[in-house]
Structure 1
């Protein structure tokens, strides 16, 4: 049987400073997860599982290196976190898996359901692809050799979740142990002899389709992920030769690259399990120098916008059934890329869940502040006016052209016009987060992938 690696989030040194994670109500994310992790380790060892606890003083990068340096075939890895939101009502458990991997998704669901059977009071936030996170990917899910998942056990900023973590810790640990045991058995069933490292010639093949055409060479499946020959990557015009974040292996004297890692290079990835085919589509003209430009026209249809929103929040259209139409109309009027604005709405409102401090009735889809600095942000009389204000604020940053419609953005005149024509330049301006632009681009990529545009 394979071994289990488990890491408690945070606690290590990041840039020379100890990272406690979220700090809420006199406790920290790292403390709560370390205490929970220790109980999981004790429980699994009592069940005769070999489990390795990642040292708590390691940085995120060192954690990955520590696991990769010790892993072998049949092993699995889990990192446990809590989440935190400005809205204290948000709560529940979620598990993140590497996107476009049905096997890993099933494993994430197994882990999540095992926890919720032991602690049914925790709401189920679902098994979710790592593309649904702010940056569009999670290093723990993508950069480990062994199958890996990242779990948000609960939301520390929610009083009910925090009570469960601190007062039902043993049940939480038992649920995690149950899930890890099931996952480990599915990856590496118990045998009477040690599980050897796969030798060359044991990786199953998969077919490759690139831009609608069948590729003459096959890829391989390693730990549930498709790998494609490096020569194909070169043909796509993507250079990953020096990128340490791209997983590569040598197999039968050919270098292969993990397909999902190409997603960050404007290559969309899809998998057909029935025909064992990996579909790669290189970026269209959308990405040829205009992908991150705020000014201009959008590329999606109203239906494509609606389908993307609904896929990420089933209830999103209940309150705002015409939201896609509003973005297309208002963006086109002011010459602002409505795809960028729509993606920003998804990021700012958590796909219209309004998980932050802004309330739905404010019709504030861009997280806009008020002229007077109201703690709740700006409010608008209708959804259309709220969308218009966001579009106008984007235009203020994107260029110096005059507004077509009367100004409704309360902070339009406070912006140095044209200072941020590209999405990445919104970082530290629209929001204090230095990764804000990257997070917005990650949502925009997901939108274009869902629409089949890249």
Structure 2
């Protein structure tokens, strides 16, 4: 009989690092939302318990990483897991509830939509942003969706407003809890099958002390099934596995593909029949195309892509066309595209002229302006698309007389970090001469220099992969 895990963890990714964000975080009570989510979690537990479901609460003082480890230690086949967060976006105008699911997994997407449907039925007043692949999250992946051993979803409970008014969660806690309970019950029945019946018990997670089920055990073997691996149009000699609806491939194949991981054990791995397997979706981090076809029970991996050989180099040539960049921006902000209709062409022209990868520059513009929503001290009329400052440390953002010159200044600032090559145009960037030329030729070198956000390079690369996904390359 399966159980339902509910987590309300502390996200390590939401700590503000700049002064403006810290001030906004204080005014919007970002750090108080944890208690709200704990109250909703407790209401969900009581409701599901009254319906006979067995609910396990992950200890509420754990970080996201610790919560994942806790669930993986206690879970067993047939369980499902939900993490509830309340994103506090200070910059963006987008608001609403959403569920992240692991990308390229149709079954998990269906489950995410089922959860949102139940929540909408109970609280139709809440805005819904939909079921979203985790590759379109701010970091390009959601650890809870990828690293929890059993089927898992990541529910984002709306956004906290920059005002002192009560949030929708505070006003409708009971209705939201009932909606989540309805969704979890429907999700559980979908995973467990029509024959499953909940039993009348529920418990606090800290009191649960059942040993975990190892991937090699008999029970887990019943949950594994072999799948074919299609590599660049040909069947690979070894088979992969599908576990809880997620495809895995032999780690030896990963080595053959030439994928080098700086932190290999951040990826989800299992041992089965004395062979180590890795979750196939993680290959996307190496810019490889991964497609899961459940009907054919085949995982398709494509390495012959224009982006497969690219590194994080800032200098170089981009691959995205003007149309692809425009469609990507339209998906995120139609209004911004209307206001700056030539933005994609300008980035392509200016970056190519200076020998800078326009894919990287365009992705960074999306990060710095929040897809042209702006905010955080930037206004559209400043034409400052790179979040550039002014000399002297006065805390003011630079302003440029035209869109083209704003784009040019951004490209020049990137080139200052990327190499020591001379500029082909007159210096527009107000802080170009303040930079040690060539100090950060790779995107990862921008973390701690362009921004104090410790996840800055990860966010930039996540947007870059989203651009490639929209273009159909990933």
TM-score (normalizing by structure 1): 0.87
Instruction: Name the SS of the counterpart of 1:271 in structure 2.
Output: strand
Structural mapping, 1:74-113, within 5 Å: 74-87=78-91, 89-113=93-117
Alignment match, 2:167: 163
After superposing the two structures, state which structure 1 stretch, 354-363 or 72-81, moved more: 354-363
Distance 2:223 2:180 in 1: 32
Larger CA deviation: 177-186 vs 245-254: 245-254
Give per-residue Cα distances to partners, 1:357-398, cap 9 Å, x unaligned.
Answer: 533343332222345767673333433222212111111222
1:298-323 CA-to-partner distances (Å, cap 9, x unmatched) read: 12322333343344556653333332
Partners of 2:173 and 2:223 in 1: CA distance: 42
User: Mind listing any 5+ residue stretches in structure 2 that lack a counterpart?
Assistant: 16-24, 200-216
Indicate the residue corresponding to 2:345 in structure 1.
Answer: 325
SS at match of 2:221: coil
User: SS state of the match for residue 216, structure 1?
Assistant: coil
107-116 vs 339-348, which moves further: 107-116
1:1-20 alignment, distance < 5 Å: 1-10=1-10
Q: Is 1:206 equivalent to 2:227 in the alignment?
A: yes
The alpha-carbon distance between structure 1 residues 114 and 347, as it changes in their structure 2 partners (threshold 3 A), is same
3-state secondary structure, aligned to 2:271: strand
Q: Check the 8 A contact 1:300/1:451 in 2, yes or no.
A: yes
* Contact 1:305/1:324 (<8 A) preserved: yes
Task: State the Cα distance separating 1:349 from its structure 2 match.
Answer: 2.7
Partner of 1:178: 182
1:437 maps to 457
Q: How big is the shift at 1:187?
A: 0.7
Q: Is the 8 A contact 1:98 1:129 kept in 2?
A: yes
The residue aligned with 1:18 is none
Cα distance change on mapping 1:6 and 1:160 into 2, 3 Å: farther
Aligned counterpart for 2:424 among listed residues 404, 413, 431: 404
CA distance in 2, matches of 1:167, 1:340: 42
1:386 corresponds in structure 2 to 406
> What corresponds to 2:214 in structure 1?
none
Correspondent of 2:253 among 218, 229, 232: 232
Paired residues for 1:326-345 under 5 Å: 326-345=346-365
Following superposition, the deviation at residue 328 of structure 1 comes to 0.9
Q: Could you tell me how far apart the structure 1 residues matched to 2:432 and 2:454 are?
A: 22
Q: 1:41-56 residue pairs with structure 2 within 5 A? A: 41-56=45-60
Residues 255/105 of structure 1: CA separation in 2 closer, same or farther (3 Å cut)? same
Post-superposition shift, 1:201? Answer: 5.7
Residues of 2 paired with 1:420 and 1:249: CA distance? 36
Partner of 2:41: 37
Q: Cα distance 1:239–1:368, how it changes in 2: closer, same or farther (>3 A)?
A: closer
Provide closer, same or farther for how the CA distance between residues 244 and 405 of structure 1 changes in structure 2, counting only shifts above 3 A: same
Q: Is the 8 A contact 2:79 2:151 kept in 1?
A: yes
Report the Cα distance in structure 1 between the residues aligned to 2:262 and 2:76, rounded to whole angstroms: 25
Measured in 1, the distance between the counterparts of 2:92 and 2:347 equals: 29
Residue equivalent to 2:321 = 301
Deviates most, 383-392 or 237-246:
237-246
The answer to whether the 8 A contact 2:2-2:78 is kept is: yes
Are residues 1:347 and 2:367 paired? yes
CA contact (8 A) 2:9 2:63 kept: no
Structure 1 residue aligned with 2:136? 132
Shift >6 Å, 4+ stretches: 192-197, 372-376
Work out the CA distance in 1 between the residues paired with 2:335 and 2:376: 17
Q: Deviations over 1:134-187 (max 9, x none)?
A: 322121111111111111102124449852111221111111111111111111
By how many angstroms is 1:95 displaced? 1.3
Instruction: Report the Cα distance in structure 2 between the residues aligned to 1:312 and 1:212, rounded to whole angstroms.
Output: 33
Where does residue 70 of structure 1 map in the other structure? 74
SS at match of 1:109: helix
Q: Secondary structure at the match of 1:409?
A: coil
For 1:416, which of 436, 441, 448 is the aligned residue? Answer: 436
Matched-pair contact (CA < 8 Å) for 2:138–2:462: yes
Which residue matches 1:122? 126
Q: CA shift at 1:220, angstroms? A: 2.5
Give the Cα–Cα distance (whole angstroms) in 2 for the partners of residues 125 and 373 of structure 1: 39
Larger relative contact order, structure 1 or 2 (CA cutoff 8 Å, min sep 6) = 2
Residue of structure 2 in register with 1:257 after alignment: 278
Whole-angstrom distance in 2 between the partners of 1:162 and 1:283? 52
After superposition, the CA RMSD in angstroms is: 3.2
